[in-house]
Structure 1
Amino acid sequence: MLAEGSSFMKGMLLGGLFCLVLSLLGSFSPSFESNTTEDHHHHHHVKAASKDELKRLTDTQMDELSQQVRVYCVIMVQPKVLVYWATAKDTWSKHCDQAVFYTSESSKALDAVNLSEKDDWTRLRKALKHAYDNAGELRWFFLARPTTFAIIENLKYLILTKDPSEPFYIGHAMKSGELDYVEYESGIVLSYEALKRLVHVFQDEDKCPERGRALWKLSEEKQLAICLKFTGVFAENGEDSQGKGLFNSKSVESLISDSLSNNPTNVVEGCCSDMAVTFSGMSPNQMQVMMFGVYRLRPYGHDFHDSLIFHPPEGSDND
């Protein structure tokens, strides 16, 4: 009986140790060294051009820049979020120069590229490869979920003076262990060069496996960062000229609520950038309200005197 009790206790101890090891592994984020030692484009912080910088440009230069900055929107959807899918299609995605929805399975309700893939990471890889192959002359890519609300003109302003032939990977940059990555929920921006390198490393199963090999399952955003890091592309935080973040994983309502608590005497300044690119965590109805506020509501007699204008895509019915 004593021997049985002893065996039971040993089993309990071994089981506890095993669970502890798994727990530690689960909280560990793998650190990968990039094999690319040249051309390390490592900004950390990518800022939009200031008004003073724009003033130095001629009208012709600004017009040329505004015409050149064109965005291919990669929007990942599933039939179970059909109402968000429909809302994104009816609102902010109209301002993309090309908006393509990628789905896990076909749906008769809305048009999308059916990737016939249940695994999130594999589906994302296929979507990005499709975007790369079908982008034509578009040189910037915006990856988003349908629950994200984006102001594409503000995105274009952020990347206005950036060269897409350099490897940019921009958004709300976060850190997990030694890994810097861009948060998926608030949108991810990739330049043509970054996407080209990514598509190339997709072919290397050792550096960027299609199916995870670890005991723990990494999120798509972290797997994306790992694969990009192998090519010398690093996560960068998108900010306005004052250093405020442009990519938000919360709704405007939540950000204002946070500001009321933390900075009640200056709520507007404490909330968010007036050149914000994305917000998230909103219902479809709230996204429609955002659309009205951003594109349709104007105070009479108030002129913003913007230095340049981003024209809508040809044939677009956007606001």
Structure 2
Amino acid sequence: MRARMPCSKASQILAFCGAYLVGFQLCLLLFRPQQQPLRPDEPYRDWLATQGLQSSPLTADFVSYGRNVSNEAQFLFRKVNVICVVFTRSGKKAQAIEKTWGPSCNELRFYAAGTSSHKDFEAPDDGQKIKMLTNHKSSWHLLCDVISEIWATSMDHLEWVIFAPEDLFVMPENLRLLVAPLSADKPHYLGHAMTLWNEDYNVAQAGYVLSRGALGVIARRFNNSKACETSGQHWKNEDFYLGKYLGEADIRPTDTRDQWLRGRFHGFNLNQLLFSHKLSVLNSYWRRSIYPVSEGLTCCSDTSITFQGIEPDKVHQFHYLLYHVRPFRGKSYLGSVPAPKPAGDEPWRQFLRDENLWDQPGEEISAKQYYELSLKIASKLSDLHPK
């Protein structure tokens, strides 16, 4: 017979193992070299100064009703080129993106994995083409070929590229605000940083951004489809391979949190992030994130760039609230003001006087008197339109 281990001894061993694992995780967090969060405020103001400009807030009144208003987002659209690459499987989702946040990109491209029998096809009811890339052995093979294509076809205007899954809501305006002070020729790798098997990478579900310098590192190393195919395997791990190969070139994920340590790239939707305890702390997103992730009102930066898990109907809802609804916090001078009041009596009093229905129009009228007046009006209408 086997001897059974006493319960107290088994409990001690389990407690020791649990404490060891917790301690190991704490050591990884404490002794990992920490970057300073990427704070765009001061560098951005300095960059604006080099353009001979300075930033000042505009009221919603002026933005809505002022003439010839050119805002900061429009200026940055002309100065900072952002190519948005969306990996999709649904024409409906591609259509929602094209009609909402897509036009805020300088260039919008859709790619999908397909078989050799597929050709380029269009999303329903619009002309946006989704390019089917065929015969790919892994998601890294697909991503690597897309990078090569962008590098070969967009060199004349290539600066920044954001790669996004189809259910990601992207705010390119906030991305430009973040990267405007940075040199696109240098290798920058932005997103939500995670770690796996001692490799740091930006997770695909939150979207990731490559500068021209970083994109060139990959395009030059894997300069044909065969090199892309043999350098990775399996699906849904292209983000890991990208981080691995950039890391071999000493290009690490940048800390993209704001000055209050709030994230800008989010792998979950607002409903999950704003309300505490909606997500398990054992989720790999929490465990593998290099920088702590918060829930509640401190979850997200005011200049957030991406949110995950947005369905097509919610994409339109988000876009409407962000781009069309403007809260007026002060007195309006240009528009959204009350209509001018007519001089003299109020219109209803003037009507009663003109119709000789009330001989004391300056006095208050009771409900009973209103009823009697309505009978008089009905009687006049009957006289005009007899049956």
Q: Same fold (TM over 0.5)?
A: yes
Deviations 1:206-244 (A, max 9, x none): 9x7523567x77711101111212222112231223221
Does residue 125 of structure 1 match 2:144?
yes
CA distance, structure 1, for counterparts of residue 174 and residue 133 of structure 2: 30
Among 54, 57, 62, the alignment partner of 2:45 is 54
Residue 50 of structure 1 deviates from its aligned partner by 1.8
Superposition TM-score, scaled by structure 1 size = 0.70
The percentage of aligned residue pairs carrying the same residue is 22
Q: CA deviation at 1:48?
A: 3.4
Q: How does 1:166-245 map to 2 (within 5 A)?
A: 166-203=186-223, 210-211=229-230, 219-245=237-263
The match for 1:248 is 266
Q: Which AA in structure 2 matches 1:282? A: I
Runs of 4+ with >6 A deviation: none
SS at match of 2:84: strand
Per the alignment, do residues 280 and 103 of structure 1 end up closer, same or farther by CA in structure 2, a change over 3 Å counting?
A: same
Inter-partner Cα distance in structure 1 for 2:44 and 2:177: 12
Root-mean-square deviation (CA, aligned residues, Å) is: 3.3
**Match in the other structure for 1:284:** 312
Residue 129 of structure 2 is aligned to residue 111 of structure 1: yes
Deviation at residue 203 of structure 1 after TM alignment: 3.6
Q: Matched residue of 1:141: which SS?
A: strand
Residue 270 (str. 1) matches residue 289 (str. 2):
no
CA contact (8 A) 1:140 1:189 kept: yes
**In 2, are the aligned partners of 1:259 and 1:270 still within 8 Å (CA)?**
no
Residues 262 and 299, structure 2, Cα contact 8 Å, conserved in 1: no
Is contact 2:141-2:232 (8 Å) kept? no
Q: Which moved more, 1:81-90 or 1:274-283?
A: 81-90
Q: Is the 8 A contact 1:71 1:96 kept in 2?
A: yes
8 Å CA contact 1:201–1:227 kept in 2: the answer is no
Contact 1:201 1:231 in 2 (8 A): no
Aligned mates of 2:87, 2:250 — CA distance in 1: 26
Q: Return 5+ residue gaps in structure 1 as ranges.
A: 1-41, 262-266, 304-319
Distance across 1 between alignment mates of 2:214 and 2:162: 12
1:69 aligns with 2:80: yes
Give the paired residue count.
Answer: 255
Give me the whole-angstrom Cα distance separating, in 1, the residues matched to 2:257 and 2:87. 24
Decide which of 119, 134, 139 is 2:153's aligned counterpart.
Answer: 134
Q: Contact 1:49–1:157 (CA<8 Å) still a contact in 2?
A: yes
Shift of 1:166: 0.9
Give me the whole-angstrom Cα distance separating, in 2, the residues matched to 1:167 and 1:292: 35
User: Alpha-carbon deviation of 1:61?
Assistant: 4.8
- Rg bigger for which structure? 2
Shift of the 260–162 alpha-carbon distance from structure 1 to 2, 3 Å rule, reads: same
Letter in 2 for 1:130: E
Residues 39-76 of structure 1, C-alpha deviation per residue, up to 9 Å, x if partnerless?
xxx98455131269627853625689834311011111
What is the aligned partner in structure 1 of residue 16 from structure 2? none
